[in-house]
Structure 1
Amino acid sequence: MTFRQFAFNNVLRNKRLYIAYFLSSMFTVMVFFTFAIFAFHPAFSDGSVNQNALFGMAVAGGIIYVFSFFFVLYSMSSFLQSRKKEFGLLIMLGATNKQIRLMVFLENILIGFFATVGGILIGLVFAKAILLVAENVLIISESLNFYFPTLAIAVTFISFIFLFFCISVFVSFILRTHKLIDLIKGDKQSKGEPKASIVLSILAALLLIVGYGTAIYVKGVLVVYAMIPVIIVITLGTYLLFTQLSVYVIHRLKRNKTIFWRKTNMLLFSDLSFRMKDNARTFFMVAIISTVAFSAIGSLYGFQSYLTKGKEVNTYTFTYSPWKDDSKELIEKDIRTINSVLQEEKIDAKMEALELTYFETHENFSSVLIVRATDYNRFAALLDEKELHPNENEAIVVEQSDAILTQESKGSEILIDSTIKLDSGQEIQPSRAIVSNVLSVYYGYYVVNDKIYEQLGLPVSTDMSAVWKAKEGQTEQVIEVGRKLNEQLEHKAYSVDYTLYEINKAFGIILFIGLFIGIVFFVSAGSFLYFRLFADLDEEKRKFRSIAKIGLTQSELKKVVNRQIAILFFSPIVVALIHGSVALTALSHMFDYNLTVESSLVLGSFAFIQLIYFLIVRFFYVKQVKRKIF
């Protein structure tokens, strides 16, 4: 058997340890290859189509490539730490340090080669489906037909073979072997009782409390100023949480005889503090990486939701608002232009126009809009909204739907407590407030009886608004009309469908890229946990084999192993979920917009994926342990 065959067989015989590293590497190659397929697609060959998408893909590919380097490097260093005994046996059999380095180099090159080839092949299999998804998500007018991506394959293959080569050289160069006795007995030497500082444990709790409290308390622009200090405080608190506070809590639980001596808890807590201490840095890194993934995707999804809520507030198909200094003749010309374009695109739409009059009523407002009931009802008829019929001594406050604006940002409460003064000296007290999108006014407005309106006197200022409501099922034509009017009328004509189309076209790129990067981070974090769990498997087998000799049953073994795996597997993920929820809460405070639904959807989806991943890992882990015992 040659030395190359020896290295190849060594990888095959340790496939349980290498599988997470191999699959994660293959996944990152596949994602990078997917971006390369987009970047070199023939639809983009002229350089004029969707340049933002191309730039975003290039940046995302660079981020994935750089992250892949550090991920593979960390994974390899972890593998080498778990193979001390193997290196010791090889040295006993006569292997030199140079040969061990060469073996590690060949193993890593072998895994890197097959991970690269496997990632490219899987990317080719799913390329058509991914192109179809991208064509719809990115709102690309060109058709992204499937093609054989020769250039993408070449770039991906060369890039990752070079990456694995550099890492293999680096790892083999820095590899150091310890004394033979340390290598042989590395997994049997006592590590000593893990110790935790009470001061540092308290500090960890205080840092997290202060960080969370600050992130939740600050609002508006203060969120931006507090962001960096909060991130630093919570990051430091997270590190101390896993290195100090978790070990301290386990020690306290072990001292509680009621808990420690209950059923199989003694087995659970016996070496849990050791494993928490040994895996502290891994848990810290997994928690931070997962938090970045949760926060990034949640922020992107929430921001898109915030921007695309406009249709719930402005339900008219088109809204025309002239500039302040526009003449009456120019306004009439603009309206004729809008009607002309609607006829060209054969859009059936009903129109209503209104002169908006603002009156001085309250010191907190320079002026407030007051509308006749008949004018309000004309606009309400377009939306099939309920009409208003106030009495002569009644005024109704109308506030905008809170689809975007929160209660703190509106003045409806001030309006309901104010009075409307008439020329005769009489004052009208508002009777009630309703929520409606018939007229979009930020602070709300009054609807009064027509007779009362005539007694208001001279308005402080006037404005003009015209709206069109088209029938359903004409979205494509409406978007085209919106584009034309946006060019011809200098943004005086607003089309909610066209605006949402442009937002989704621009923001869909960011969301699509952010989703892929977030998934890469999340999968990598799960791979770290998988490796750390299975790296200690041989030691766990020996421990449970010894305990089984004194009467440990299969059901008790399964219960202990399940609890131990769950604690180690979900500890960093739960911390990351809490971090992510606090970050998204801070984001909602910055925009004064409720992100509860979006946050729950993103965090819930990741939690569900992690649960499925845990069930799969647990099944194989328990199976491996039981096979060696019963």
Structure 2
Amino acid sequence: MTFRQFAFNNVMRNKRLYIAYFLSSMFTVMVFFTFAIFAFHPTFSEGDINNNALFGMAAAGGIIYVFSFFFVLYSMSSFLQSRKKEFGLLMMLGASNKQIRLMVFLENIIIGFFATVGGILSGLLFAKAILLVAENVLIISESLDFYLPTLAIVVTFVSFIVLFFCISIFVSFILRTNKLTDLIKGDKKSKGEPKASIILSVFAALLLISGYSTATLVEGIYVVYAMIPVILVVTLGTYLLFTQLSVYVIRRLKNNTSIFWRKTNMLMFSDLSFRMKDNARTFFMVAIISTVAFSAIGSLYGFGSYLTKGIKEASPYPITYSPFLDDSKAMIEEDTNRINSILQEENIDAQMESMELTYFELGERNVLITRASDYNRFAAFIGGKELHPDENEAIVVEESGAIIQEGPKASEVLMEANVRLENGEEIQATSVVESFVLSAMNGYYVVNDQVFEQLGTPERLDYSAVWKTEEGQTDQLIEAGSKISNLDGNLQHKTFIIDYTIYEINKAYGPILFIGLFIGIVFFVSAGSFLYFRLFTDLDEEKRKFQAIAKIGLTQSELTKIVNGQIAILFFSPIVVALVHGAVALTALSSLFNYNLTVESSLVLGSFSLIQVVYFLIVRFVYVKQVKRMVF
């Protein structure tokens, strides 16, 4: 048997240890290959469509490639850590340090080659389905037909073979073998009772509490100012949580006899503090990576929802026309006739309402003041609430969910001022109403019709026309918006069609969401793989431990309960922390945009939680089966 055959057989006979590394590496190759299929698709390369998607996928491919390097490097370090005894046996049989490095190099090359080939084949297998999904998410008119992605195959194969080759050289170069006795007995040495500092444990709790409090209490633009300090504080608090606070809490539980001596808790807690301490850095890494995935996908999904739903809420009219200030009445009439003509061409059933907007001087600025009858006419057009102010009062109206702004709100400014009549009398504002009936960034007044006639000559006149359409005409409205946007002149800048605007936003934002989702999934899968590596690295030691305990009466049901408890704590501790981090981050995002993201946050975090539960059930089944096979 040659040395290359020895390295190959060593990989094949350690499938359990290598399978997670192989599958995770293959998954990253498949995702990279998927992006390459998009990037080199003839639909993109032969035209100028969706350049944002092309650039985003190229950037995403670079991010995945760089992340893959560190992921594979970490995976190799986990393997090497678990194979100390194997290296010791090889040295006893006469293997030199150079031969051990060569063996590690060849093993990684073998795994890297098959992971690359497997990732490309998997990508080809699912390419058509992914192209169909992308075609709808990216919202392009052209069809993303399946093709033989020769260039994508070459780029992916060469890129990852180079990646695995560089990592193999790097790992074999830095590999250092300890003394023979340390290698043979390394896993049997006593580590001593894990210790945790009370001061650092309290400090960890204070850091997390202060970070969470700051993130949830700040509002508006101040969320951006607090973001970097909060990230630093929470990151440090997370590290101390796993290295200090978790160990301290476990020690306190062990000192509580009512808990420690209850049924099989002694066996579970006795080893848990050691494993928490040993895996602290892994848990920290998993928590941070998962938080990035949760926050990124939640932010992208939430921001997309904010854009589309915000437009629908802020614009209750399907079509709005707002002319320029210097447009003549003839120009306004011509524009509205052209809009109506296009609506008729698309067979859109629409009703039109119009209003002259009057602005009066109030202090150093002009403020919109409108008749109650005009306001109620527009309100009735969309089923809104009517307003009926008395002759001696004015009602302040501001848009619901005002956009992020510094300084006082529009309603606060208008409530402190009064409406001045032509005869010098003043009408006081009595209440504030939130509404989208009329669009005015700085708010406006609604007054009684008789009072309006006493305001005098307005400082500025404006005009607004709106159309109400029947349900189920989305495609026609998108086509009408496309025609208006392609017209000569400035009509496209004066006309706002909700369905067409949302279509254009989704078309531009779809690639970002699509790419962010893929990158987030890569991060999340990698984080789960880290947990798998750490869990199965200690499997042989766990087998020996439970085999010894079984000799004094441990039953299968008790073993299953203990192992399930330990795996659940180790598997979900970093993920639960990441979910809390992600929930706080998305809450802060809600405060930033003054938009409720509860539904979006719950959907994203709930989906990842469900995936993690399924992953846990699979890993638990395999792990318990392995332990039982050795013990009973």
CA displacement, residues 379-417 of structure 1 (integer Å, 9 cap, x when unaligned): 2343244555666667665554449789x9855577679
Partners of 1:486 and 1:494 within 8 A in 2: no
> Partners in 2 of 1:41 and 1:298 — Cα distance?
29
> Partners in 1 of 2:413 and 2:617 — Cα distance?
55
CA displacement, residues 261-310 of structure 1 (integer Å, 9 cap, x when unaligned): 22221111111111111111111111111111111111111111111120
> Partners in 1 of 2:331 and 2:584 — Cα distance?
51
What secondary structure is seen at the aligned counterpart in 1 of 2:559? helix
1:44-193 matches, cutoff 5 A: 44-193=44-193
Partners of 1:423 and 1:457 within 8 A in 2: yes
> Partners in 1 of 2:500 and 2:417 — Cα distance?
38
Counterpart code for 1:472: E
1:74-473 matches, cutoff 5 A: 74-308=74-308, 309-359=310-360, 366=365, 368-385=367-384, 398-402=397-401, 411=410, 436-442=435-441, 444-473=443-472
Partners of 1:69 and 1:167 within 8 A in 2: yes
Partners of 1:405 and 1:593 within 8 A in 2: no
CA distance 1:238–1:546, change in 2 (3 Å): same
Q: Shift in Å at residue 467 of structure 1?
A: 1.2
Could you tell me the TM-score, scaled by structure 2's length?
Answer: 0.92
CA displacement, residues 201-233 of structure 1 (integer Å, 9 cap, x when unaligned): 222222222322332333333332332222222
CA displacement, residues 362-389 of structure 1 (integer Å, 9 cap, x when unaligned): x7x9454333343234323432445556
Equivalence for 2:512: 510
Match of 1:530 among 517, 529, 532: 532
More displaced, 270-279 or 460-469? Answer: 460-469
> Partners in 2 of 1:141 and 1:550 — Cα distance?
70
Equivalence for 1:546: 548
Counterpart code for 1:543: K
Partners of 1:319 and 1:494 within 8 A in 2: yes
CA displacement, residues 92-126 of structure 1 (integer Å, 9 cap, x when unaligned): 12222222222212211111111111111111111
Partners of 1:306 and 1:404 within 8 A in 2: no
Partners of 1:486 and 1:492 within 8 A in 2: no
CA displacement, residues 131-170 of structure 1 (integer Å, 9 cap, x when unaligned): 1111111111211011121211111111111111111122
What secondary structure is seen at the aligned counterpart in 1 of 2:590? helix
> Partners in 1 of 2:319 and 2:158 — Cα distance?
52
Counterpart code for 1:35: F
Partners of 2:20 and 2:529 within 8 A in 1: yes
> Partners in 2 of 1:223 and 1:425 — Cα distance?
44
Runs of 5+ unmatched residues, structure 2: none
What secondary structure is seen at the aligned counterpart in 2 of 1:315? coil
More displaced, 331-340 or 81-90? Answer: 331-340
What secondary structure is seen at the aligned counterpart in 1 of 2:187? coil
What secondary structure is seen at the aligned counterpart in 2 of 1:186? helix
Counterpart code for 1:522: F
Partners of 1:312 and 1:403 within 8 A in 2: no
Aligned-residue RMSD, C-alpha: 2.6
CA displacement, residues 545-567 of structure 1 (integer Å, 9 cap, x when unaligned): 11122222222222211111111
What secondary structure is seen at the aligned counterpart in 1 of 2:139? coil
Runs of 5+ unmatched residues, structure 1: none
Partners of 1:43 and 1:144 within 8 A in 2: yes
What secondary structure is seen at the aligned counterpart in 2 of 1:491? helix
Determine if the alignment matches structure 1 residue 475 to structure 2 residue 474. yes
Counterpart code for 1:258: S
Determine if the alignment matches structure 1 residue 565 to structure 2 residue 567. yes
> Partners in 1 of 2:372 and 2:254 — Cα distance?
73
Match of 2:607 among 592, 602, 605: 605
> Partners in 2 of 1:414 and 1:231 — Cα distance?
35
More displaced, 547-556 or 329-338? Answer: 329-338
Partners of 2:242 and 2:280 within 8 A in 1: yes
What secondary structure is seen at the aligned counterpart in 2 of 1:358? strand
What secondary structure is seen at the aligned counterpart in 1 of 2:306? helix
Counterpart code for 1:537: L
Q: Shift in Å at residue 461 of structure 1?
A: 3.5
Counterpart code for 1:316: Y
Q: Shift in Å at residue 180 of structure 1?
A: 0.8
Could you tell me the TM-score, scaled by structure 1's length?
Answer: 0.93
Counterpart code for 1:332: E
Q: Percent identity?
A: 77
Counterpart code for 2:629: R
More displaced, 416-425 or 434-443? Answer: 416-425
Q: Shift in Å at residue 441 of structure 1?
A: 3.2
> Partners in 2 of 1:436 and 1:205 — Cα distance?
43
> Partners in 1 of 2:196 and 2:392 — Cα distance?
73
More displaced, 371-380 or 571-580? Answer: 371-380
Q: Shift in Å at residue 493 of structure 1?
A: 1.6
Partners of 1:28 and 1:520 within 8 A in 2: yes
More displaced, 62-71 or 490-499? Answer: 490-499
> Partners in 1 of 2:340 and 2:477 — Cα distance?
13
What secondary structure is seen at the aligned counterpart in 2 of 1:463? strand
> Partners in 1 of 2:325 and 2:108 — Cα distance?
70
> Partners in 1 of 2:387 and 2:221 — Cα distance?
39
What secondary structure is seen at the aligned counterpart in 1 of 2:358? strand
> Partners in 2 of 1:39 and 1:122 — Cα distance?
18
What secondary structure is seen at the aligned counterpart in 2 of 1:148? coil
> Partners in 1 of 2:6 and 2:307 — Cα distance?
59
Partners of 1:313 and 1:403 within 8 A in 2: no
> Partners in 2 of 1:449 and 1:47 — Cα distance?
58
Partners of 2:418 and 2:428 within 8 A in 1: yes
Q: Shift in Å at residue 446 of structure 1?
A: 4.4
What secondary structure is seen at the aligned counterpart in 1 of 2:188? coil
